[in-house]
Structure 1
Amino acid sequence: MYRFKTEQGKIFYQLAHWTIRLVPLSFVVGSLVALFLWLLDWATHTRWQHWWLLFLLPLAGVLIWALYHYFGKDAEAGNNLVMDEVHEPGGGVPARMTPLVLAGTIITHLFGGSAGREGTAVQMGGSIADLFAKWYGIRKEDRGILLMCGMAAGFGAVFGTPVAGALFAMEVLFIGRMKYHALIPCLISSVLAHIVCISYGIHHTQYAIDTRIARAVTTWIPGFTFDLFLLLKVIAAGMAFGLAGMAFARCTHLMKQAWTRLIPVKWLIPVAGGILIIGFSYALGNFDYLGLGVVNPDGHNSIVSAFAAGGVDTWSWLWKLLFTAITLSAGFKGGEVTPLFFIGAALGNTIAALSGAPADLFAGLGFIAVFAAATNTPIACMVMGVELFGGENILYFAVACFTAYYFSGHSGIYKAQRIAVPKLHRTGGRQQ
């Protein structure tokens, strides 16, 4: 076989080699995500048409517990297992994780659990990638990259943000460090999976920020124009977004510990969680905080409605946080990210109302910044903002995401995430 002698030739060979490996992986992951999104849409609309399904949520939780108890084994660890396998390859990511998390998430949403979809897509991508790694017979170092590619493919396809998907897979593993050696493979897999997914006719929700309002600028520094007072409001909001992301992560972890301590019989935990969800829904007098929360048949208290002034209740972000923490800590399946979008967009809408800022801009900032805080991935979230809302407000995106990232501390929704560079650094021998 011909060997390239120049560095550029070797790079070309390596990229071509990765592309050949990634095409079938991306096709499978993109197809699975398309199936998942179609089933998720079906489950959501079915629940809207038959609200009595909510009363079966405790039984649905027992079913999910039984599936993982008898067939899941280590698949129960979910995203953390995929991340741990990238850090330190061990027993691998079982292929059964894909059908289990797919079924568990659809059951959760069909019967009214408050959960997301990112976790399902990333777990499917990771388990399929590990299966391909075994088929390819690749070495340990390349297996980690392939797992990251599976994560990127799942994330990019499920949200329609391929560049953010690639960055997320590289950024989420460590706080303060990105695995740049996987940059091109992750981008290839994320873009291809996204193309495959939308080729099935899948449509992602469209969001919009009125840039004419958001770009009212004043020249404060020669050659650089921005609205100083709006920027100060964004910084303050970024602090709040960071605290919200931290609160969600800690609340979910503490509730999981509380369930285990208070209820020794494991299958009763989802029963109790389901009963709590039903109770809170009827206490509030609405079902606004069930499911994804992207849209609401009543047209109020959803991610989409948060982009309009008065589109959400003042405390809707807190209720969504509580509903999701209960759902996921009790053992129901799904992701955290879409609920984080809801929490952030609703909180941003509330802050905008209190501060006189544009509701759509601050909803968009909260959308990405609370996610950045809870996952410690500010760069991926900033780019996601550009992919979803356009690049006109990238300065505000960056400020909100980076501020939220720092103010969330070292907490996060992924226990397998490692600290490479602490957010608190030492200056002059003292920790600042």
Structure 2
Amino acid sequence: MCSPSRLARFFSFVLAFAVLAFAVLTFAVLAQAPVVAADSVTRAVAPEGHLSGVAPIKEAANLRITRKETHQEVRISNAWPGAPDLIYFLVPRGTDPGNIDGPPGTVIAVPPRRVVSLSTPNIPFIRDLGELSSLVGVDTADYVYDETVRQALEQGTVRTTGAGAQLDLERLLALRPDVVLLSAYSPDDPALRRLEGAGVPSMVIADWREPTPLGRAEWLRLFGALYGKEALAEELFSHRARRYHDLARRTDQAIRQGARPEVFANAPWQGQWPVPAGESYLAMLFADAGARYLWADTRGAGSLFLDLEAVLARARDADVWMHLNATWSSPEDIRREDPRLTLFRAFREGRVYHHDRRQRSRGANDFWETGVGRPDLLLEDLVTIFHPQADLVPGHQLRFYRSIFP
């Protein structure tokens, strides 16, 4: 019969052996598991639908991102008038997507290491996530405002490819892109069709179809999904949305209805004046900045094409004139265009503002680059212009706008 001490030693040996075996088995399992980036660790524990700790899309009407077991599904609606939903499957690089259940879609390996962007508003979204080093191509250098990308273009580390019917497919293919990001204006968009025909993974970015400023800005979160930086993208967007909502709320409280300036926008071009409709991006910016937009009562998110006489009839006595033609930079340009334009009270009183403060000589304009993702900064400019005496943004210097009067 064994003594108690010998039994104790025996069971201790068995227990130690079991612990060692468990450790070896655990190490073997972990060694075979795929490496997961720190930003995407939450994917493994999040319930299907969205990432753990990351809020669902709220402001963007045309974008949905859904987490699946092996990938993320991106659904883009309304990419052009009457467009069907465009489906993309973001699959972690180096993994086999297998048979993806669901509607037909484009598989994109993420994060992308080589990106071509055929639309300049994408650049700040990539920049804000610290991923500009992945950019290898753009459509044209003329419309790039970002200084880092312009330097890369000069050094040859970023190349131009053309876009639309002028897309140089051979030059683009030489860049070996993991994904091409572009805007498409119809199902027959020439660049989109050629990319699809060549088997190049491409994604249509439709932020410009969003009618609200924050809706456009929230497309940053699509780039967060592309680069595996969902949490950072949500943090940045949430901060910007809070700043926007806070200033809009304070402006609404501080400025009574009767003190709100009447505003109109844009200018005649080739015989017609494209007036932003009442549900458009600019109309909503003006309203949130505490202005009375003169076409706020019209339907639609696009433009109303009117003649000068119709605009003059409604806006002759308006307080502020915003957003001029790209070729205008001074009062003299307006006088030369048509003497009738000087009949607007806003012109006579020197309250005409152009969105070209950050514009380069060939037309690159940061209003349509950085401004797309930073409506909070646009709102600061507009509140300062519309309510200069209210001091709602103390010490603010205009960033995107300038008065055309010296």
| Common fold by TM > 0.5 | no
* Structure with more of its chain in helix, by fraction: 1
TM-score by length of 1: 0.29
Structure whose CA Rg is larger:
2
